[in-house]
Amino acid sequence: MLTDVLIRVVAVVGILLPVAVATFVGRRRLATLQMEWRSRFRESGPLLVVLLVVLGINRVMRQEGPTISDAIGIQLTWLFYELEGEFVLVFQSVASPELTAYFSAIYVYGYAFLLIFPGIAYFALSNTIYFRQLLAAYSLNYTIGLVFYLVVIALGPRNVMPDLLAGTMVYDASPEYHHFTRQLNSSTNVFPSLHTSLSVTVAIFAYRTREQYPRWTPVAVVIALSVVISTMYLGFHWVIDVVAGIALAAGCVALSMALVDSRNAG
C-alpha cells in the first residue's frame, strides 16, 4: 500500500511540476538556467547538503524518536485538550465527502508539490538568494520541529477523540493515505504542525517573490491555506499546533534571511 501511494505521489507531482514550470517559470529563465546552473549549484551547494543531512537525520529519528521522546519528553496532550477543547470539531459542521477528498489530496499531493516547486522556481532565478534562503528555512523548520517532537509528547485530535472525528479522518476516508502518513509521522508528532510551518514558509517566500513570480503567489497562498486547514479538518492537529507552526514558519524565514547574505537580492 505504501509503495502504491508513493508511486501515485510521484506521478501526480511529476505531472504538476512541468505544468507549473511552464506556467510560472517560463522559457527565458529556463534558457538562462541551462547556461548558469553550474555556478548556481556551486553557490547553493553547501546549503543543499545541509538540508539533505537534516532530512537524513529526520528519517532516522522517525524510527528512534519515539523512544527518545518517551525518556525525555513532557506529556502535554491533555493540556492542549483543556486549553482548546473540541474546537476542531467545527469542521464537522461543514464536512462532506467532497471536502474530505479534497483535503486528503491536498494533505498528500498538494503538500508535496508545494514544497518541491519553489526550489525549482527559485533555482531558475539568476540571483540565488531566494533559493539559498529557502533551503535554509526548510532546514531550520525540520531541525527545530524535530527538537519539539522529542521534547513535547502530544497526541492529535484523531487519537484523543476518534469517534467525534470519524467523518473526516483521513484513514476512514482514504485508508491508503492513512498508511502513508503513518510511515512519515509518529502519532505523537503533532506540536508544532510541520505541514503548517513548511506550507506557510512557502507562502511567505511566494509573497517575497511576488515581483519575480506574480502568478505563483496567489496559487501558493491558496494551496498553503488548504494544507493548513487540512491538518485540522482531517484530525491530525490541534489549532495550537497550527498556531505554533505559523510562528515557526515566521521565525525560520526571519532566521534564513539573517543567516544567508541578502545583498543584491532581486
Q: Domain extents for the chain?
A: 2-259
The predicted structure's pLDDT at residue 72 = 82
The predicted structure's pLDDT at residue 219 = 97
The predicted structure's pLDDT at residue 263 = 47
The predicted structure's pLDDT at residue 266 = 41
The predicted structure's pLDDT at residue 241 = 93
Q: Per-residue pLDDT for the chain (266 aa), expressed as one digit of tens each? A: 567 778 888 999 999 999 999 999 988 888 888 888 888 888 889 999 999 999 999 888 877 777 787 778 788 888 888 888 878 778 777 888 888 889 989 998 999 999 999 999 999 998 999 999 999 999 999 999 999 988 888 887 887 776 666 555 544 555 555 555 555 555 667 889 999 999 999 999 999 999 999 999 999 999 999 999 999 888 888 899 999 999 999 999 999 999 987 544 44
The predicted structure's pLDDT at residue 125 = 92
Q: Which residues pair with 75 in a beta bridge?
A: 153
Cell of 61: 529519528
The predicted structure's pLDDT at residue 221 = 98
Q: What is the pTM of this model?
A: 0.88
Do residues 201 and 247 touch, judged by C-beta distance below 8 A?
A: no
The predicted structure's pLDDT at residue 132 = 96
